[in-house]
Amino acid sequence: MKLFGFRVAAASLLMVAASVAQANLVFAINEGVTYRVPSEEIRAKYALITADLSKLLKQPVSIEPVGGYPTLRKGLAEKAYDIAMVHPAHLSIEAIKKSGYKLVVVTKGFQEYSANFLVKANSPLKSLADLKGTKLGAPDEDSITSWMVRATLRDALGAANQVTYLYTRYQDAVPFFVEHNFTPAGASAAGAVIRAWQAGGGKVLAKSRPVPIKHIIASPNLTQDQVDKLRDYLLALDTTEEGKKKLEPTKYSGYARYDEAAMLSIGTWLGL
């Protein structure tokens, strides 16, 4: 009877161990707070890559779209995400500094993300110094764009609070502030918004320091071997026709290495 009980207990432990081994790795995807991307669209975009990662890491990988920054910040602090595609550099850097995440790669085409200060064609403003004491339209207060804007104005004016900020949820709403004279200038880093502004005759007064965005980071829950395999896989995607086809739904051209220490220094500039 004792032998039977021992066997049952041993079998139960093996089942638990197998269950833990097969526990899903959570791949959080954040496409930014100032862009509109439905969750199902995000899951579809990364389906092919996720299928590969499940085989590569020998554990099922499930996609978890995360839109809100408070939710993303909390999940990263709790190490709830094993892998995360993080649009805002400040949240990625925060997770590396405080929660032990590792920078895996950055996204090609988004290594030179800059906030552009938009003004009307006939604006009397000549430099960022002229913004002192005025109002500025900007996207969500916790967006990476607004973090870059405040750091830039801190450098230019001595303190970020020398300007009054009017925040709006989405990047494409910023030009409205300037067009309708709510603010003499607005800030956006969205390429489509900037191009449309310039095509309509508007000017770019200045640009911020470029910051890489859309980082893929790995939780300390992953082994170094898993992190290395993840990095190698992502870096190789744009080197084959098969890999390029898997990238197509994401609309990204590929991924690149980036020095983690250099990324942390950007965090210092941002004021983290």
| Whether 201 and 229 share a structural domain | no
Residue 89 CB coordination number (10 Å): 24
In the three-class reduction of DSSP (H, G, I as helix; E, B as strand; rest coil), residue 30 is classed as strand
Domain count, the chain: 2
- Which of 207, 229, 259 is a domain's end point? 207
Asked whether residue 14 carries a pLDDT value surpassing 60, the answer given is: no
Assess whether 104 and 217 both reside in one domain. Answer: yes
Closest by Cα among 115, 203, 210 to 153: 115
Picking from 36-45, 152-161, 179-188, 225-234, which range would have the lowest pLDDT averaged per residue? 36-45
**The residue to which tokens 């300390």 are assigned:** 220
* Interstrand relation of 135-139 and 83-86 (parallel, antiparallel or unpaired): unpaired
* 65-75 tens-digit pLDDT: 998 899 999 99
Q: According to the model, what pLDDT value does residue 235 have? A: 98
Token pair listed for 167: 């925040």
Residue 176: which CATH number?
3.40.190.10
Same domain, 120 and 198: yes
Please give the residue range of the domain that contains residue 217: 22-111+212-270
Residues 51 and 101 in one domain: yes
Residue ending a domain, among 207, 227, 242, is 207
User: Are 220 and 94 contained in the same domain?
Assistant: yes
Same domain, 96 and 222: yes
Do 173 and 151 share a structural domain? yes
- Final residue of a structural domain among 190, 207, 224: 207
Residues 170, 101 share a domain: no
Residue 8 lies in a domain: no
pLDDT tens across 164-210, in order?
999 998 888 999 999 999 999 999 999 999 999 999 999 999 999 99
Query: Within a domain: residue 16?
Result: no
- Average pLDDT over the chain reads 91
In a domain, 7, yes or no: no
Kindly tell me the number of DSSP H helices and DSSP E strands found in the chain.
11, 11
* pTM, to two decimals: 0.86
How far is C-alpha 75 from the chain's CA centre? 14
60 inside domain: yes
* Residue at 5 is within a domain: no
Residue among 93, 43, 102, 68 nearest 250 (CA): 43
Which residues are within 8 A (CB) of 130 and not within 5 positions of it... i.e. 6 or more apart? Answer: 124
Residues listed for the chain: 272
Identify whether residues 85 and 107 lie together within a single domain. yes
Are residues 66 and 28 in contact, defined by beta-carbon separation less than 8 angstroms?
A: yes
Distance between CA atoms of 240 and 244, rounded to whole angstroms? 6
CA distance 215 to 15: 36
Q: Is residue 43 part of a domain?
A: yes
CA 23, CA 80: separation in Å to the nearest integer? 13
97 is a domain residue: yes
For Cα atoms 189, 194, 197, give the angle at the middle one, nearest 5 degrees: 145
Do 158 and 241 belong to one domain?
A: no
Indicate whether 217 and 102 sit together in one domain. yes
Identify whether the C-beta of residue 81 lies closer than 8 Å to the C-beta of residue 211: no
127 and 80 together in one domain: no
In a domain, 202, yes or no: yes
Q: Are 65 and 42 in contact (CB under 8 A)?
A: yes
Q: How confident is the model at residue 12 (pLDDT cuts 50, 70, 90)?
A: very low
Q: What is the pLDDT of residue 196?
A: 97
